[in-house]
Every structure is written in structure tokens, then in C-alpha cells.
């Protein structure tokens, strides 16, 4: 993801997360840390940006900051591919675990993460606002002690 992608990404963000979309400033702030502690990627399907993901990595820990697939491109394996790429990047950087937060009722995303090997560590109450809990999930990467 480069700065000129932000306008399109923010448009997808608004469609997918109407309650709390990331602002352009948030994406600018994240990209300022690429490649030191961040990794951000977009997928172009020929009609423009169809998906994006971002990782925050300070070994041994990584966090999946964001992952999203535009409505027109969902259900075709793109989310799975981007998640695998994000995990591979965390591993490449020497991270031993990848953490993430997901809305407790986001069944599609939870299914995606569970199939990729993430396990739920618990629930954070009102994380996204009143009544909107987050599930904290973790993927342990090979080589981690206990
Ligand atoms: C969650 C999201 C990234 C998944 O991306 P996607 O490209 O649509 O998903 P994929 O086609 O790669 O499917 C991967 C897995 O997700 C799950 N999944 C996908 N669509 C699903 C649906 N409609 N219902 C339930 N599970 C679904 C399945 O486990 C699927 O694996 P399978 O095909 O082996 O069963 C995408 O739907 C999205 O951007 N949603 C809105 C934004 C969002 O919620 N982001 C995550 C915030 S934490």
C-alpha cells in the first residue's frame, strides 16, 4: 500500500466499517512506519484495489491491524490469501505470535481466522463501543516456546 492508495482504501473502509472506519490520517500514520514496524499490502484485481491488509510487527509479537476485501470481491479466497501473506510476513520478521481483535459477531472473519489456526483468548467488553465486544485471537507461529 502506498500513499496514493489511501483514497480508494478509505472508500472501501467506509463501506465495510460504517461505524468506525479508519481515517486517511490513520492510514498515513501507519504507512509512515513502513517498513520498520509495519507491513501494508493491497491487492488489485484489474478493476482497482479489491483488498488490503496491514500488520504491526515488533518481534516476537505481531498484530493484524486490518484486513478487508471489497464487497465485490468477497468470497473468492482473497481474504484467506491476504491473511496467509500477513502471517508469512510476521514469521519472516521473526515474530512468534500474531494477535488480532475482531468484533464478537463478525462470523465471517472469525471463521476465516479459525480456519487459519487462530484461537480465541477471550473477550474484551465494549472494545468497539457500548455493547460491541471484541474477541481477542492469537496464532502461535512455529518455534514458539510453550
Ligand atoms: C472477512 C473477510 C476479510 C474475508 O475475506 P473473503 O475474501 O471474503 O474470504 P475468503 O473467500 O478468503 O474465505 C476465507 C474463509 O472465510 C470464511 N468465510 C468467507 N465468507 C464467508 C461467509 N459468507 N460466511 C462464513 N464464513 C465465510 C470461511 O471460513 C472461508 O474459508 P472456506 O472458504 O475455506 O470456508 C471479508 O469478508 C471482509 O473484508 N469482511 C468485511 C471486513 C472485515 O470484517 N474484516 C475483518 C475485521 S477483523
| pLDDT computed for residue 16 by the predictor | 97
Pocket test for ligand 1, best of 73, 74, 102, 114 (most atoms within 8 A of CB): 74
Spell out a b/e string for 73-96, using b for 16 or more CB atoms within 10 Å of the CB, else e: beeeebbeebbeebbebbbebebb
pLDDT category at 142 given cuts 50, 70, 90 is: confident
All 3 cell numbers of residue 131?
Answer: 455493547
All 3 cell numbers of residue 29?
Answer: 500514520
pLDDT category at 72 given cuts 50, 70, 90 is: very high
pLDDT digits (tens, 9 = 90+) for 77-130: 999 999 999 999 999 999 999 999 999 999 999 999 999 999 999 999 999 999
Name the average pLDDT for the chain.
96
- Closest residue to atom 25 of ligand 1, CA basis: 108
Q: Is 55 helix (H, G, I), strand (E, B) or coil?
A: strand
Question: How far apart, in Å, are the Cα atoms of 92 and each of 43, 58, 110?
Answer: 20, 12, 24
pLDDT category at 41 given cuts 50, 70, 90 is: very high
Checking if the pLDDT of 8 tops 60, the result is yes
User: Using a 6 Å cutoff on CB, does residue 69 contact ligand 1?
Assistant: yes
pTM of the model: 0.95
| Domains parsed from the chain with CATH numbers | 3-140 (3.40.630.30)
- Closest residue to atom 17 of ligand 1, CA basis: 112
| pLDDT computed for residue 146 by the predictor | 45
Q: What are the DSSP calls for 61-88, one per residue? A: EEEEEEEEE-GGGTTSSHHHHHHHHHHH
Whose cell is 488490503? That residue is 52
88: CA distance to ligand 1 center in Å? 19
Amino acid at each position: 500500500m502506498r500513499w496514493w492508495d489511501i483514497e480508494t482504501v478509505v472508500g472501501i473502509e467506509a463501506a465495510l466499517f460504517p461505524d468506525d472506519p479508519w481515517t486517511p490520517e490513520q492510514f498515513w500514520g501507519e504507512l509512515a512506519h513502513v517498513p520498520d514496524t509495519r507491513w501494508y499490502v493491497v491487492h488489485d484485481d484489474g478493476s482497482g484495489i479489491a483488498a488490503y491488509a496491514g500488520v504491526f510487527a515488533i518481534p516476537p509479537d505481531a498484530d493484524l491491524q486490518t484486513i478487508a476485501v471489497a464487497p465485490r470481491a468477497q468470497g473468492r479466497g482473497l481474504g484467506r490469501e491476504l491473511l496467509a501473506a500477513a502471517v508469512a510476513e510476521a514469521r519472516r520478521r521473526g515474530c512468534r505470535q500474531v494477535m488480532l481483535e475482531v468484533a464478537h459477531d463478525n462470523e465471517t472473519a472469525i471463521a476465516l481466522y479459525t480456519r487459519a489456526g487462530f484461537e480465541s483468548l477471550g473477550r474484551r467488553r465494549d472494545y468497539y463501543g457500548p455493547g460491541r465486544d471484541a474477541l481477542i485471537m492469537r496464532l502461535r507461529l512455529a518455534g514458539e516456546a510453550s
